[in-house]
Amino acid sequence: MTRAKRGPQAQTAPECMLAPVFKAVIAKAGIKPEQVDEITIGNCLQGGSGAASTRMAQFLAGIPATTPMYVINRQCSSGLQAVMNVANQIRVGEIDIGIGGGVESMTFFPM
């Protein structure tokens, strides 16, 4: 987390922040990228609900295009909702492995 519009990540696109997180999560879990069954990412202010940047982060992290992803926007706690959605999918047996989280860039939102 850094200051909006003037911190050290001010010009870093959301996909460039999210891709290393995906890679780290996969490495820490000791799985292969193709084992991820679904990705859910929350955001509030990104254009197009952040779907394009999340999908690009997925590709940058080496997760195949066949892995479905979706984004969620709750205006507040979007990332928490994304994590809960993935946890619930695992709990009911819809998926075995999922990634849930959130990303935001205040710099790229025209306030």
pLDDT in tens, 43-101: 887 776 678 999 999 999 999 999 999 999 988 899 999 999 999 999 999 999 999 99
Query: What distance in Å separates the CA atoms of residue 66 and residue 69, rounded to the nearest whole number?
Result: 9
Whole-angstrom distance, CA of residue 109 vs CA of residue 76? 16
Rounded CA separation 58/65 (Å): 8
Give the pLDDT band (50/70/90) at residue 4: low
The Cα 49–Cα 78 span in angstroms is 11
Reported confidence tier of residue 111, pLDDT bands at 50, 70, 90: low
Under the banding of pLDDT at 50, 70 and 90, the label for residue 106 is confident
Q: What is the pLDDT of residue 91?
A: 98
Q: For 5, left (φ over 0), alpha (ψ -120 to 50), or beta?
A: left
The two tokens of residue 79 are 């990332």
State pTM to two decimals: 0.88
Is the separation of the CB atoms in 77 and 96 below 8 Å? no
Distance (Å, whole) CA 38 – CA 66: 9
The full set of domains in the chain, from first to last, is 14-24+32-102 (3.40.47.10)
Question: What's residue 37's pLDDT?
Answer: 98
38, 93 in Cβ contact below 8 A?
Answer: no
**Beta bridge mates, 98:** 38
